[in-house]
Amino acid sequence: MVSVQVRWVEKNMVSLGIVCIILSPFILAVISLFIGQYSLDPITVLTILFSPVIHSDPTWTEAQSNVIFNIRIPRILGALLIGGGLSVAGAVYQSLFRNPMVSPDILGVSSGAGFGAAVAILFSLPLLLIEGSAFFFGLLSVGFAILLSQIYKGESILVLVLSGIIMGSFFTSLISLVKFVADPTSKLPAITYWLMGSLSAVSMPDILFAFIFIVPGSLYCMIIGWRLNAFSLGDEEAGALGVDTRRMKYILILISTMITAYSVCICGIIGWIGLVIPHLGRMMVGPDNARLIPVSFFLGAAYLILIDNIARNATTAEIPLGILTAIVGVPFFAYIMARRDVGWT
């Protein structure tokens, strides 16, 4: 009887924890509307938010309205979608490659996207073309990695990872070349700052495309998460369970690449999220991907919203997101390794 009650309490505690995880990014999103360098009281913020629905004489300035609708809401939505998407991509890759050290840029997507953006900035292209160039070269890098893996014979996962490392190193060297030839007074600082990651330039059209690229892919990964569990047994065993491993592997790689490439193209390279957050989710709900992938999405969303708030409020000059995620991610990952939670159970 006592053991049954203990299991009931444990089950309800886990359910309550999952509910809190799901609600956390939305609570942080609401709080984020009220804080910033341009301070706004909650009454003013709520009045501005509901002004399109409840028509009344404006008691706010146009500048205040612009801060809410054109700056804070796009940033918050961008952090929510990008943080969640990168975490899902990281969880998928770690399960797919059966390696807890894998991150979403393992196939070179971040380096390729960074090179595309750097070239576009070098030639003074408009923001839309910078994002388009980053997205194209991110996909191109992964495409080359897959093509390279098909040329060589061997264990497919290992060869694919090694091909991704090759392409990532290649595009990283090209980024260095672009920075070497860039004007050190104007273009080089712009390229360097973009590569460090920021949500300062995110707009509502970016959010619309983020919904198109990130939300459907993340939902698909959540729905088929239970099938990912079979990959932990190996390709042959997963195939014996009725999972078309080859087809699913490339579908999931394509989805994760699209999510990561678009995230990089609108906010630059933000590391450690896709590596660390799935481990945090695994510590909370276990290795079952049916629960891990949704939990990773909401944890990643809450995490990047929180990091973005720190980035834009800690100092008068905005801190690049990539710096903060590394500062937080490195010691946390070291802690995970010390506890030996980095291995599969």
Side chain identity, residue 185: T
User: Residue 262 and residue 175: Cα distance in Å, rounded?
Assistant: 18
Residue extents of the structural domains in the chain: 81-338
Three-state DSSP class for residue 124: coil
User: Residue 214 and residue 330: Cα distance in Å, rounded?
Assistant: 26
Which superfamily does CATH assign the domain made up of 81-338 to? ABC transporter involved in vitamin B12 uptake, BtuC (1.10.3470.10)
How many C-alpha atoms does 244 have within 13 Å on its Cβ side? 5
Q: Which residues, 6+ apart, have CB-to-CB distance to 14 below 8 Å?
A: 285
Question: Residue 250 is inside which H or E element, if any?
Answer: helix 245-267
DSSP tag of 58: -
Phi first, then psi, for residue 201 (nearest 5°) are -100, 5
Compute CA distances 286 → 81, 91, 201, 332, whole Å.
23, 12, 37, 18
Q: What local confidence, expressed as pLDDT, does residue 168 receive?
A: 94
Tens of pLDDT along the chain (345 residues) come to 555 555 555 555 667 888 899 999 999 999 999 988 887 888 888 888 888 777 777 777 888 889 999 999 999 999 999 999 999 999 999 998 888 888 888 899 999 999 999 999 999 999 889 999 999 999 999 999 988 888 876 557 788 888 999 999 999 999 999 999 999 988 999 999 999 999 988 999 999 988 998 999 999 999 998 888 887 777 677 777 677 778 888 899 999 999 999 999 999 999 899 999 999 999 888 889 999 999 999 999 999 999 999 999 888 888 999 999 999 888 888 887 777 544 444
Q: What local confidence, expressed as pLDDT, does residue 157 receive?
A: 78
How many other CB atoms are found less than 10 A from the CB of residue 5? 9
By the 8 A CB rule, do 283 and 160 touch? no
